[in-house]
Amino acid sequence: MNEMIAFCGLDCEKCDAYQATVNNDPVLREKTARLWSKLNQVTITPEQICCEGCRTDGAKTYYCESVCSIRRCALEKGVETCGFCAEMESCPKLGEVIGNNPSALDNLRG
């Protein structure tokens, strides 16, 4: 499976944090920090917008590295992605992601 597909099925290459990192784009970092701060009701600084992909070696945002329950679960189970988990279809955590981004399920099945 493409290593840029996150454990949850989201495409890391389409993520603004990833794009800001690989393109060293300070404007996109600032925009992403403002948006994510508003969405998550916490302060996220542009310096925290640094990620090279959920399943790759390298930098990750604080959320992906330390908070994401899906990533933590997949690492604990030792699965490549949630697509390899027997509980994928009934997982409420994954269901939230898929509900907001149906293409994530296609990525996990693909």
CB atoms within 10 A of CB 86: 9
Q: Is 5 domain-assigned? A: no
Q: Is 6 domain-assigned? A: no
Q: Is 1 domain-assigned? A: no
Distance between CA 67 and CA 38 in Å, rounded?
17
Q: Is 7 domain-assigned? A: no
Give the model confidence (pLDDT) of 2-32 as tens digits.
Answer: 999 999 999 999 999 999 999 999 999 999 9
pTM strictly above 0.95: no
Residue 39 above 90 pLDDT?
A: no
Give the model confidence (pLDDT) of 48-63 as tens digits.
Answer: 999 999 999 999 998 8
Q: Is 59 domain-assigned? A: yes
* 81, 64 Cβ separation under 8 angstroms: no
